[in-house]
Amino acid sequence: MIYKELSKGCLILEDGTRFNGFIFGYSNVVCSQVVFNTSMAGYPDIITDPSNTGLLVCITYPTIGNYGFPAAQEYVCGTGTSGRKYPVLNNLESSQATVKALIICDYSQEYSHWKAECSMGDWMEAHKVTGICGIDTRYLAQILRDKGTMKAQIVPVGCQELDFNKCSCTQGNVPECLCTENIEYKSPVPAGKKVVLLDCGAGNKLITALLEKGIDILRVPCSQDFTSYTADGIVIAGGPGKAEDYSAAVENIRKALKGNTPLMGIGLGNNILALAAGASNVCLGNGHRGHNEPVTIAGGKKCWISSQNHCQAVDAASLPAGWEVWFTNMNDGSVEGIRCKDKAFYGCQIAPEAASDTMFIIEDFIKNL
């Protein structure tokens, strides 16, 4: 592939493997944990997903960038005089870039889409996200699959390589991706129900999905003790890092489990729920990142192709009495969801709002409010 006006660069893995390519977006030396995502589309969502905070994300689908990058648009729920704007975007997962860098095979410098505002590379440059293309992403994914997630760095030509031993790759919580104070969202089609949304890295689509179902939302910081608030339900949103990094959230959820308010954990929220219930999590070698993860209800025969973005799974053997496996991954057999046997407490690694097929998870939760 011939790339116009792109300088050369190199992707270097912690194990010494090197890939030569071309730099696009923001030219800078970057180092962090590298993961791969198997989605065929949705790169604007991937680049702005809070769960990808601080990561070098490799997209395995060959051609990326062909439909450009959309303009930021405020979400509008309802029509006519009942329509209402909200301070969340309806076409991105957050209001800023979250990934540290993007690794792709073929970067489409020319793009075409009626919603596009600019090219993916121009958007990444404006938001200081480094990109490298011309990489054999399928081979890179095979290395990560076989050896597990590792550190990597992207070095533009003429720049000094970094010392991996001095390269910090801690994801943790990123304040600009999380709310720092309570935010209320009133649905224009109210169902008379309200949930507390514990923000460990909530994506915009989860917020809009709840609003469209008529649910009012009180979004609170992940470390806040929300247990004294009056609400019909509690939602633990997903986010970056590992559940063990959210000790305050785990403790507050543990207190909430002593009551009867319906509760649902999504993505990282499922892992936080597991810790609060007394179970433990295991780290997956590569994580599940993509729109094509097959899951089934434990003991069932129906399969759903789901959207996921997480690095942990609940250890089934650690589940305490009164809890059971809800969903299972059909590729590796890992736990994809847990539930309480006698109370309306649920958790899943799936992003149910990402596809109509899995929206039943949110709808079933709402029925219990």
- Mean model confidence pLDDT for the chain: 92
Q: Which of 102, 105, 144 is nearest to 123 (CA)?
A: 102
Q: Which CATH class is domain 8-166?
A: alpha beta
Average pLDDT over every residue of 155-179:
77
Q: What is the pLDDT of residue 320?
A: 97
CA-wise closest residue to 336 among 261, 284, 285, 276: 284
Query: What pLDDT, in 10s, does the model give residues 68-99?
Result: 999 988 888 766 556 677 778 888 999 889 99
Residues 304, 349 contacting (CB under 8 angstroms): no
pLDDT band for 170, please (50, 70, 90 cuts).
low
pLDDT attached to residue 50:
93
Residues 233, 262 contacting (CB under 8 angstroms): yes
Name residues whose C-beta falls within 8 Å of residue 282's C-beta, 6 or more positions apart in sequence: 312, 313, 314, 315
Distance (Å, rounded) from C-alpha 253 to C-alpha 199? 13
- Fold observed for domain 175-367: Rossmann fold (3.40.50)
Contact 282, 315 (CB under 8 A): yes
- Residue count of the chain, please give it: 369
Please give the helix or strand (H or E) that residue 345 lies within, else none.
Answer: strand 345-348
Q: Which helix (H) or strand (E) is 182 found in, with range?
A: none
If pLDDT is split at 50, 70 and 90, which confidence band does 266 have?
very high
At 101-121, the pLDDT tens digits run: 999 999 999 999 999 999 999
Q: DSSP assignment, residue 365? A: H
Tokens of 345: 């407490």
Torsion of Cα atoms, 60 then 64 then 69 then 75, to 10°: -40
Query: Which tokens sit at 310?
Result: 């997480």
Rounded distance between C-alpha atoms, residue 280 and residue 270, angstroms: 11
* Spatial separation of the C-alpha atoms in residues 368 and 183, rounded to whole Å: 24
Read off the pLDDT of residues 284-294 as tens digits, 9 standing for 90 and up: 988 999 999 99
pLDDT surpasses 80 at 153: yes
What is the reported pLDDT for 32?
94
Model confidence at 167, pLDDT cuts 50, 70, 90, reads: confident
Q: Is the pTM of this model over 0.75?
A: yes
* Cα dihedral 194→362→344→253 (10° resolution): -70
With contact defined as beta carbons under 8 Å apart, do 208 and 45 qualify?
A: no
Give the type of residue at 51.
Answer: S
What is the per-residue pLDDT across 294-328, written as a single tens digit (0 to 9) for each?
A: 999 988 889 999 999 999 999 999 999 999 999 99
- Domain definitions of the chain by residue range: 8-166, 175-367
In this prediction, residue 172 has a pLDDT band, given cuts at 50, 70 and 90, of very low
Phi, psi of 246 (to 5 degrees): -115, 60
Q: What backbone torsions phi and psi does residue 253 show, to the nearest 5 degrees?
A: -65, -35
Q: Phi, psi at residue 124, to the nearest 5°? A: -65, -40
Q: At 2, list the tokens.
A: 């011939």
